[in-house]
Each structure stands twice: as structure tokens, then as C-alpha cells.
């Protein structure tokens, strides 16, 4: 069957003939892949800067943002049935019993670094016609989300980040007490970056009642700015608005959700974080030349203003469940803008070209099956 694969040693990305997966165990499920999203990590892998094929394989099948349909479920599978739509988690636990996270089902917090990731590190991904995986890694997606279900995985980044934000902000008694768990009402958030992770993050924040601003390099009045406006957030372009002006315009910022992967802008944006604020890093920058920072100023503010900065990667089962629920909420409230995030659908044959020369737009999706 067809698969999109990267050969790191040969520095080549191609459509290959990949062996059919077999349903070998009772707790496994055979899936027909429908959609696979392309993200920055895939582009990095296709530039041969990241990613590891499974042991013994010259190539890595790409793809970790998936939506698939259940074809056949092993006898011990209880949650999924043939025909169900599912999204499968990316990361798999490391083999080390001493890892405090993996044996507890949280490889997204793996201590040893020996975790694997489908389509990224040591395991083939989802950019192929059929896959087999264990049922426990799958999350059922309602049929009405067929055309946007592929956005679940990128949305899990925001979901995991927000779980952690609630945990740390429980330190502020007035935030925790008396408000529905996880409510962002009355709080102000700035999203840095208007890629898929940023824009999905903005929807997650809006859905929780945050006053939400998106700051990115795309021009004011452009497509992204109009998208942001259409969902009820504010848009400021870094081309015409400095961070100082942003601070004046927005006021005290309770949360900065970074989704640019660019250290220069991200660290400078720490200046706009308000008292008791939280700054979340989600972007993974390439290895670039060092940037200069005012360390003392930063440290002063972190201490004197009780600020918190954290990074977050990957996601656990709870974040996938939350992402599926949120996507249904977004669908009810922002049906059109949600769909507008997917700016291109392409056949598998086109994937090598897309990976080498990504089209402009927000989210490109490689489609394996006929829509329906
Ligand atoms: C994926 C994560 C993964 C990370 C690092 C991201 O693109 O969304 O699941 O953990 O890359 O490999």
C-alpha cells in the first residue's frame, strides 16, 4: 500500500510501497486512514533535521496528525466499532520501569527520552492507507466532525497547556474558588503566532471565556486577521504594532500562549506578561544563533510579579478527550472559521512536493480515502 516516507540517510522523501499492517493481537484495531495533517515537525523531518526511522528500517513513514476509520477491531477491543472515526495518539511509553511517567500512562511527560512517537521517532506514522494500533491509544470522534477531525491532535497541544494553566492558577484562590473548573472568564490571553497551533489555541481560550488577542507577523487586514476577527478575538500584527504598543492596547495579560517557535519574539513577549501571569511555550525552534536577553530584568519581574513560565509538549489521553469535546464545541459555534483552518487537501502522491515546498495557508491535509 502507499505510504509517504522519508529516507534520512539518502535525504529523500518519496511515496513508497509499504507492507500492509496485520491485526495480530486481540487489543489491536485495523484502521483505514482518511486524513493526515502536515505540521512544522513534519517539515523539519522532511528537511532531515529531525525524526528517526524504526530500528532496521531505511525509512520513516511520516504523519502524526490523523483521522481514520475503524475497519476491524480485535476481540478484546471494547470502545471502538467498525465504522467509527478515531484519532490515535502519537507518543508511546519508554520501556524503563524507573520512568515515573510512562508506566503511569503519561509518556508525554517521559523522563528518559526513550519514548517513541508515531511518524516522528522510532515508529512509522499515519501517512499511509491502513494502520494497526492498540485500541487504548484511540479516541472516538463524532461522525459530524469527519471533515475537521484531523485537527484534534494539533488542538491537544492547547488542551494539555490549559490543564496545566488551571493547575498552576489554582494558586490564586479567586480564580479557583467559585468558578466552574477551568474557567478563563475575566482573564486576558495573548496568543503569539497564527499557525494552526496558535489559532486552535485561540479558539480554546475564547471557548473558556478569555478575552483573546492574537499577535503575529501576518498583516493587519489580511486573511488571518480577518479569521481572528470572525471568531471574536482581537488581532495585532507585529508588522505594525510593537510589543510595547500591544501592552498598551491589551492591558495586563494573564496568559501568553506562545505558538511561533521563534525564540526572539517569544522571549521579548515575556515583557508583556502581567502580574501573576503565566507564559506557555509550545513552539520548538530549530537550533539558531543565540539571542540576547536582559536576564536581570526578566528575573526581577518573574519574582516580583509571581510569574510562571513553562513549556509543554505532546499530550495525554485527557487532552485528546478534551480536544474532541472542544472540537465539537467549536463546530457548533464557529463552523465556518473552523473549516477555514484547513486550507488545502492533497493526494498522497503530492505529499513529497508539499513537504519540500509547503504551500501558503494554515493547515495542509493529505487525504487517503474518498470523502464520505
Ligand atoms: C507533535 C507532538 C510531538 C512533538 C515532538 C509535535 O509536532 O505534535 O506530539 O511530541 O512534535 O516530537
pLDDT higher than 70, residue 371: no
Asked whether the predicted pLDDT for residue 214 surpasses 90, the reply is yes
**pLDDT over 90 for what percent of the chain?**
93
Match 518573574 to its residue by C-alpha cell. 302
Does position 372 have pLDDT exceeding 60, yes or no? no
138-142, 184-188, 208-212: the lowest-pLDDT one? 184-188
Quick one: how many helices (H) and strands (E) in the chain?
11, 19
Q: Which atom of ligand 1 is nearest to the CA of 90?
A: 9
What pLDDT, in 10s, does the model give residues 303-339?
Answer: 999 999 999 999 999 999 999 999 999 999 999 999 9
SS3 (DSSP) at 63: coil
- Over residues 284-304, the mean pLDDT reads 92
Ligand 1 centroid to Cα of residue 159, in Å, is 14
Ligand 1: which residue has its CA nearest to atom 8? 314
> 41 in ligand 1 pocket by Cβ < 6 Å?
yes
pLDDT at 93 over 50: yes
Neighbours of 294 (CB within 10 A): 13
Q: What is the pLDDT of residue 184?
A: 83
Residue 125 per-residue DSSP state: -
Count of CB atoms situated within 10 Å of the CB of 43: 16
How high is the pLDDT of residue 175?
75
pLDDT in the model for residue 38: 98
Distance 340 CA to ligand 1 centre (A): 23
Residue 363 has pLDDT above 90, yes or no: yes
State the pLDDT at residue 237.
98
Which ranges of the chain would DSSP assign to H, the alpha helix?
Answer: 40-46, 152-169, 173-176, 196-207, 223-231, 243-250, 263-269, 295-304, 317-333, 335-340, 351-356
Q: How far is the CA of 33 from the centre of ligand 1 (A)?
A: 19
pLDDT at 183 over 80: no
Ligand 1 atom at minimum distance from 315 CA: 9
Q: Is pLDDT above 80 for 182?
A: no
pLDDT at 180: 59
Contact 120 CB / ligand 1 (< 6 Å): yes
Give mean pLDDT, residues 49-53: 96
**Residue whose entry in the numeric block shows the C-alpha cell 520548538:** 284
Write down the pLDDT at residue 369.
78
d(CA 225, CA 231): 10
Radius of gyration of the chain (CA): 21
Output the average pLDDT for the chain.
95
Ligand 1 centroid – CA 300 distance (Å): 32
Nearest ligand 1 atom to alpha carbon 156: 8
Mean pLDDT (whole number) for 228-233: 98
Q: Measured from the CB, is residue 117 less than 6 Å from ligand 1?
A: yes
Amino acid at each position: 500500500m502507499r505510504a509517504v516516507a522519508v529516507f534520512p540517510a539518502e535525504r529523500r522523501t518519496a511515496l513508497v510501497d509499504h507492507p500492509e499492517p496485520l491485526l495480530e493481537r486481540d487489543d489491536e484495531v485495523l484502521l483505514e486512514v482518511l486524513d493526515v495533517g502536515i505540521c512544522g515537525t513534519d517539515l523539519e523531518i522532511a528537511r532531515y533535521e529531525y525524526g528517526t526511522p524504526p530500528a532496521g528500517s531505511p525509512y520513516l513513514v511520516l504523519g502524526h496528525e490523523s483521522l481514520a476509520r475503524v475497519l476491524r477491531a480485535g476481540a478484546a477491543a471494547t470502545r471502538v466499532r467498525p465504522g467509527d472515526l478515531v484519532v490515535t495518539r502519537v507518543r508511546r511509553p519508554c520501556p524503563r520501569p524507573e520512568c515515573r511517567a510512562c508506566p503511569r500512562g503519561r509518556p508525554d511527560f517521559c523522563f528518559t527520552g526513550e519514548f517513541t512517537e508515531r511518524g516522528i521517532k522510532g515508529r512509522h506514522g499515519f501517512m499511509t492507507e491502513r494502520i494497526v494500533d492498540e485500541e487504548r491509544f484511540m479516541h472516538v470522534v463524532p461522525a459530524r466532525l469527519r471533515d475537521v477531525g484531523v485537527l484534534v491532535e494539533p488542538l491537544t497541544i492547547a488542551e494539555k497547556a490549559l490543564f496545566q494553566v488551571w493547575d498552576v492558577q489554582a494558586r490564586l484562590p479567586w480564580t479557583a474558588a467559585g468558578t466552574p473548573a477551568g474557567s478563563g472568564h475575566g482573564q486576558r490571553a495573548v496568543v503569539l503566532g497564527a499557525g494552526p497551533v496558535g489559532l486552535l489555541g485561540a479558539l480554546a481560550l475564547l471557548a473558556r471565556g478569555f478575552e483573546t488577542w492574537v499577535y503575529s507577523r501576518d498583516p493587519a487586514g489580511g486573511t488571518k486577521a480577518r479569521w481572528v476577527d470572525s471568531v471574536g478575538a482581537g488581532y495585532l500584527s507585529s508588522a505594525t504594532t510593537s510589543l510595547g504598543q500591544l501592552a498598551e492596547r491589551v492591558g495586563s495579560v494573564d496568559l501568553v500562549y506562545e505558538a511561533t517557535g521563534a525564540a526572539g519574539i517569544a522571549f521579548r513577549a515575556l515583557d508583556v506578561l502581567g502580574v501573576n501571569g503565566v507564559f506557555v511555550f509550545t513552539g520548538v525552534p530549530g537550533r539558531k544563533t543565540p539571542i540576547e536577553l536582559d536576564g536581570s530584568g526578566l528575573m526581577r519581574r518573574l519574582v516580583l510579579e509571581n510569574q510562571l513560565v513553562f513549556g509543554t509538549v505532546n499530550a495525554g489521553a485527557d487532552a485528546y478527550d478534551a480536544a474532541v469535546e472542544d472540537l465539537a464545541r467549536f463546530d457548533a459555534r464557529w463552523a465556518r472559521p473552523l473549516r477555514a483552518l484547513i486550507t488545502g487537501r492533497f493526494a498522497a502522491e503530492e505529499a513529497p512536493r508539499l513537504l519540500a515546498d509547503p504551500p501558503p495557508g494554515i493547515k495542509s491535509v493529505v487525504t487517503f480515502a474518498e470523502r464520505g
